[in-house]
Chains A and B, each alone.
Chain A
Amino acid sequence: MSKNLTFSCGCSFRITDQDHIEFNPSVIDINLDCSKTWDLISSGNTKGCFQLESRLGRSMAKKLKPENIEQLAALISIMRPGCLEAYRDGKSVSSHYIDKKNCLESVNYFHQSLEPTLKNTYGEMVYQEQAMEITRTIAGFDLQEADMLRKAIGKKKPEEMAKVKSKFIEGSKIKGIVNESEAEEIFGWIEKSQRYSFNKSHAVSYAMNAYLSAYTKAHFPRVFFASYLRFAKDKIDPQQEIKELIQNANEMDILVKTPDIRLLNQYFILKDKTIYFGLTDIKSVGESVYKKIISIIEENQIDLNSSWPNCLFRLLSNINSTSAKSLISCGAMDYTGISRNKMLFDLGLALKLTDREKNIIIAEILQNNITCMKELFKILLHNGKLIKKRLEDIQESINLLNNPPFSLQDSPEWISDQEDMLLGCPITCSKIDMYDISMTNCNCKDIKNRNYLNDNLTLAVEIDRINTVKTKKGKNAGSNMAFLSVNDGSGSLDSVVLFPEQYAKYKQVLYEGNIIVLKGKSNKKDDSFVVEKVFLPSS
């Protein structure tokens, strides 16, 4: 809870700080009938929303399509392992609830007297409070006795259970609403349900928080993502969290950019409707490096908008080299307009200089505003203050600047790898950008813009994950088929299906990280994509 409360405070801070919108996301003031919020939850777009952010949460929100807090609380309750694993008539209690809510299964209450208690949950016993209420209705238990029943079931003590049961049967006889066998059956039902049922007060408070986060996501998506990205570091797998949040932000047309050193922000920020990574969100740039950057800039009054050599010799060559390389590689210096590989190359040469040589160069930059690396090294060469050995080294550097041993261009693959490694996911470009994917444009542009009515979709994707399973039924029973998770930079698809025939035919090109073109049909109902053909794009 604390993370989500902090998140709410974070939202409030950032909106007033950056966009000057006054918004205090409080559960007291919030409109609980906001159609935009319920639409967002029902579409399964709940990445980042409290309790609903897991894959299971997203898919169940989409299936259930909750329309009010009562149903949202029920959703949070039926998502728990107990409910999912409790089977009745060959179906989990969760599925019963979803089907009943969506009018795919009739609602019955076992006994009419239970209707008022179970009406809100379509006849399913979802909450512990419902069980307690039933004991009051059927057996006339007072609240203390009802709580004893809850505790007895929870502790699974047979002696206590036997005591409560006989009390329940006796009470039901006195009340006379149901006969003895019905009372026994109801007690058995309560007993079973208590293995999975959830505390309603808890579920409702969760639901309020889930609604609050979904409301923020629906109305203030940029703030929502900026705040959640800030907290991604606290997750078990921060890299995966950042990747999923950014993919989701892209799907919602929210621009997320690589860090920009000029902004000097430590964490994720929202600026001009764009989310920027913070400097400490870069791997290998810690708080101490951040503080050092700030102090160097302040002490030396460095204008980061000035030339590249100015930043290189006055700032980057004075912090640790790993951090300097990371800043360049992840795109924090892209505003200079120079390729990242060229900047890394220049940094390598700058780091070989002595402090004295650097000071000569800095003096030239400040006095004569020289911005050309070669020019600066030539000045150093003709300075007349260096020993012969150093002159040879400087001449070598000039030769290397004139004729670098490898390409200093940035390939999309390299950029996406570096960003993946340093930021958690590719931001500037996707590996797919390396390939000629013009063949996909006639039928479909990308995952985000796919047309569900089109039976003939073509998508260029990178394979994130492959899961192979053996089919149990059908003519190919026992053969392998595959489920892929793929992305194309614009979004991701989690259920790409290759049936046994297609899997056998194309398994050679199915490996994680490979870029492939998929042709097939998309099914909006379950958001799956059934593959008919696989191609390799040309580079």
Chain B
Amino acid sequence: MINYNKICVFDFETDGSDPSVCSPVQLAAVMIDPLKLEIIKNSEFNVNFKPERMEKENFKYDDDILNFHAKVRGCEQKDILDLWKSYPSQKNSWEMFTEYLQKYHHRSTKQSQFTAPIAAGYNINRFDMIIVDRLSTKYNNINKEKRQNIFYMRDIIDIMNIVFYWFENNSELKSYSLDSLRDYLGISKDGAHDAIKDVKDCAEILIRFIRLHRKLSTKISFKDSFSHISNV
């Protein structure tokens, strides 16, 4: 049973660290072909969002967040604010993303949430998916159960979980952050925290783990492995 749904590795850059209130300022994604386990050619998506806060007259940002973005981009805090102001509205950018996802539904069947790409990313369960749920509710991309309907409903691949299972006993990995993982795996950190660089790195890491998993699964049999446990 092969899952034919494409895997969408995505990442938000935001104007805050609390996913329940912050606004996205950038969203990047790439698609993985689930059969060939390769990044689909020309599948890169990259869009900016004007933060919701900037829609109001007297908005204010903490220095911490502006410093962080200024450092990543190598510019001043003021430049960051000017840049964010010039970004397209959240509604338009979100619409672009949902259109992009629709392009990568499972082929030749009727499009539904079952044919939609599987959401994947680093630490997405605790961060990015919360934003997805918020924006889906805001822009009416919800199903009957009032949950987001843009991604496959049965599965979310959080690469951080996979890393945890493989490295829980490995002290060489300093932490479970994406930067530590990049250091450990020998992936360059040039351009890190730019959403498109992050998603490409994550996609390559995920592909490596799925390949490993597929190879191992043919060699390990679970059949009757619980049969020695008596039924109580």
Contacts and interface: CB of A to CB of B under 8 A. Distances in A.
B is bound to A = yes
A421 B46 contact: no
A514 interface: yes
Interface string A202-241: 0000000000000000000000000000000000000000
Contacts of B96: 400, 405-406
A513 B35 contact: yes
A539 B38 contact: yes
A405 B87 CA distance: 12
B209 to A, nearest CB: 17
Interface in A392-415: 392-393, 396, 399-400, 405-407, 409, 411, 413-414
A188 interface: no
Interface residues of B, number: 28
B36 interface: yes
B88 A400 contact: yes
A393 B38 CA distance: 36
A508 B218 CA distance: 9
A348 B88 contact: no
Contacts of A405: 45-47, 93, 96-97, 100
Contacts of B42: 407, 409, 411
A406 B41 contact: no
Contacts of A539: 36, 38, 41
Contacts of A536: 36
Contacts of B92: 393, 396, 400
A129 interface: no
A410 to B, nearest CB: 9
B204 interface: no
Interface string B75-93: 0000000000010110011
A400 B93 CA distance: 9
A514 B35 contact: yes
A511 interface: yes
Given A420-B108, A511-B2, A399 B99 contact: no
Contacts of A414: 103
Contacts of B89: 392-393, 396
Nearest to B97: A405
Contacts of A409: 42
A400 B91 CA distance: 13
A407 B38 contact: no
Interface string B206-218: 0000000010001
A411 B44 contact: no
A357 interface: no
A400 B36 CA distance: 31
Contacts of B218: 508
Nearest to B105: A417
B53 to A, nearest CB: 17
B108 A406 contact: no
B214 A508 contact: yes
B99 A348 contact: yes
Interface string A409-447: 101011001001100000000000010000000000000
Contacts of B46: 405-406
Contacts of A396: 88-89, 92
A511 B35 contact: yes
Contacts of A514: 35
Which residue, B35, B44, B86, B214, has most C-beta atoms of chain A within 10 A? B35
Interface string A495-539: 000000000000010010110000000000000000000001001
B162 interface: no
A409 B46 CA distance: 15
A179 to B, nearest CB: 66
A409 B41 CA distance: 10
A511 B214 CA distance: 14
B12 to A, nearest CB: 14
Nearest to A412: B41
Nearest to B2: A511
A270 to B, nearest CB: 27
Interface string B1-40: 0101000000000000000000000000000000110101
Contact of B43 (A407, A417, A421, A513): A407
A421 B89 CA distance: 32
Contacts of A348: 95, 99
A539 B40 CA distance: 10
12 contacts: A341-B103, A348-B95, A348-B99, A393-B89, A396-B89, A399-B86, A400-B96, A406-B46, A421-B107, A421-B108, A511-B2, A511-B35
Given A399-B86, A405-B93, 4 more contacts: A348-B95, A407-B44, A413-B40, A414-B103
List 7 A-B pairs, minimum CB-CB distance, nearest first. A407-B42, A405-B47, A417-B107, A396-B88, A406-B45, A420-B108, A511-B2
